[in-house]
Chain A
Amino acid sequence: MLKATNLKITFNPCTPIETRALQGLSLEIPTGQFVTVIGTNGAGKSTFLNAVSGDLAVDSGSILIDDSEVTRLPVWQRAAKVARVFQDPMAGTCEDLTIEENMALAQCRGSKRGLSWAVKASQRDHYREHLAKLGLGLENRLTDRIGLLSGGQRQAVSLLMAALQPSRILLLDEHTAALDPRTADFVLKLTQRIVAEKQLTTMMVTHSMRQALDVGDRTVMLHQGQVVLDVSGEQRKGMDVKDLLNMFEQVRGEEISDDALLLS
Chain B
Amino acid sequence: MSLFSLFGALEIGLIFSLVALGVFISFRLLRFPDLTVDGSFPLGGAVGAVCIASGMDPFLATVCATLAGAAAGVLTALLNVYLKIMDLLASILMMIALYSINLRIMGKPNIPLIMEPTVFSVLQPEWLVDYIGRPLILIVVVVFAKFGLDAYFSTQQGLAIRATGSNPRMARSQGVNTGAMIILGMAISNGLVGLAGALYAQTQGGADISMGIGTIVIGLAAVIVGESILPSRKLFMLTLAVVLGAIVYRFFIALALNSDFIGLKAQDLNLVTALLVTVALVIPLLKQRYARRKRV
- Point out residues on A near B: beta carbons under 8 Å: 53, 55, 74-77, 79-80, 82, 84, 86, 91-97, 101, 104-106, 108-111, 113-119, 145, 161
Measured CB to CB, the nearest residue on chain B to A171 is: B173
Residues of A within 8 A of B152 (CB): 115
Measured CB to CB, the nearest residue on chain A to B162 is: A97
| Contact B155 A93, beta carbon cutoff 8 Å | no
Measured CB to CB, the nearest residue on chain A to B233 is: A145
| Contact A79 B163, beta carbon cutoff 8 Å | no
| Contact A76 B154, beta carbon cutoff 8 Å | no
Most chain A CB within a 10 A radius of its CB, from B155, B159, B163: B159
| Contact B175 A96, beta carbon cutoff 8 Å | no
The answer to the question of B171 belonging to the interface, with a C-beta cut-off of 8 Å to chain A, is: yes
A51 shortest CB reach to chain B, Å: 14
| Contact A104 B175, beta carbon cutoff 8 Å | no
CB proximity to A under 8 Å, residues B111-156: 152, 154-156
Known: A113-B157, A118-B155. A75 touches B173 (CB 8 A): yes
| Contact B159 A101, beta carbon cutoff 8 Å | yes
| Contact B166 A94, beta carbon cutoff 8 Å | yes
- The CA of A101 and the CA of B162, in the complex, are separated in Å by 10
Residues of A within 8 A of B178 (CB): 76
| Contact A79 B155, beta carbon cutoff 8 Å | no
8 Å CB contact of A95 from B156, B158, B167, B169: B167
The answer to the question of B266 belonging to the interface, with a C-beta cut-off of 8 Å to chain A, is: no
Main secondary structure of the interface of A (DSSP, over half): loop
A169 shortest CB reach to chain B, Å: 13
Measured CB to CB, the nearest residue on chain B to A110 is: B175
The answer to the question of B174 belonging to the interface, with a C-beta cut-off of 8 Å to chain A, is: yes
- The CA of A106 and the CA of B178, in the complex, are separated in Å by 15
Contacts A86-B173, A105-B163, A110-B175 given; 11 further ones with Cβ under 8 A? Answer: A76-B177, A79-B172, A79-B173, A92-B170, A93-B167, A108-B175, A111-B175, A113-B160, A115-B155, A117-B156, A118-B155
8 Å CB contact of A94 from B155, B170, B175, B177: B170
Please provide the 7 A-B residue pairs with the shortest distance between their CB atoms, ordered closest to farther.
Answer: A79-B175, A113-B156, A118-B159, A75-B172, A94-B166, A96-B166, A109-B175
Most chain A CB within a 10 A radius of its CB, from B162, B163, B170, B172: B170
- Point out residues on B near A: beta carbons under 8 Å: 152, 154-160, 162-163, 166-167, 169-178, 233
| Contact B162 A113, beta carbon cutoff 8 Å | no
Known: A97-B159, A118-B156. A76 touches B172 (CB 8 A): yes
Residues of B within 8 A of A108 (CB): 156, 160, 174-175
- The CA of A110 and the CA of B177, in the complex, are separated in Å by 11
| Contact A115 B172, beta carbon cutoff 8 Å | no
Measured CB to CB, the nearest residue on chain A to B180 is: A76
A174 shortest CB reach to chain B, Å: 16
| Contact A117 B172, beta carbon cutoff 8 Å | no
Residues of B within 8 A of A76 (CB): 171-173, 175-178
Known: A105-B160, A113-B156. A97 touches B166 (CB 8 A): yes
| Contact A114 B233, beta carbon cutoff 8 Å | no
- The CA of A77 and the CA of B177, in the complex, are separated in Å by 8
| Contact B166 A104, beta carbon cutoff 8 Å | no
A146 shortest CB reach to chain B, Å: 10
Residues of A within 8 A of B162 (CB): 94, 96-97, 101
- The CA of A115 and the CA of B184, in the complex, are separated in Å by 13
Residues of A within 8 A of B172 (CB): 74-76, 79
Residues of B within 8 A of A115 (CB): 152, 155-157
| Contact A114 B156, beta carbon cutoff 8 Å | yes
| Contact A114 B157, beta carbon cutoff 8 Å | yes
8 Å CB contact of A105 from B154, B174, B177: B174
Residues of A within 8 A of B171 (CB): 76, 94, 105
Known: A97-B163, A97-B166. A118 touches B158 (CB 8 A): yes
| Contact A104 B177, beta carbon cutoff 8 Å | no
Chain A to chain B contacts (Cβ below 8 Å), 30 pairs = A55-B169, A75-B172, A75-B173, A76-B173, A76-B175, A76-B176, A77-B175, A79-B173, A79-B175, A86-B170, A91-B169, A93-B167, A94-B163, A94-B170, A97-B162, A104-B159, A105-B163, A105-B174, A106-B174, A108-B156, A108-B160, A108-B175, A113-B157, A114-B155, A114-B157, A115-B156, A116-B155, A116-B156, A118-B158, A119-B154
B78 shortest CB reach to chain A, Å: 17
Measured CB to CB, the nearest residue on chain A to B177 is: A76
| Contact B156 A104, beta carbon cutoff 8 Å | yes
Residues of B within 8 A of A84 (CB): 173
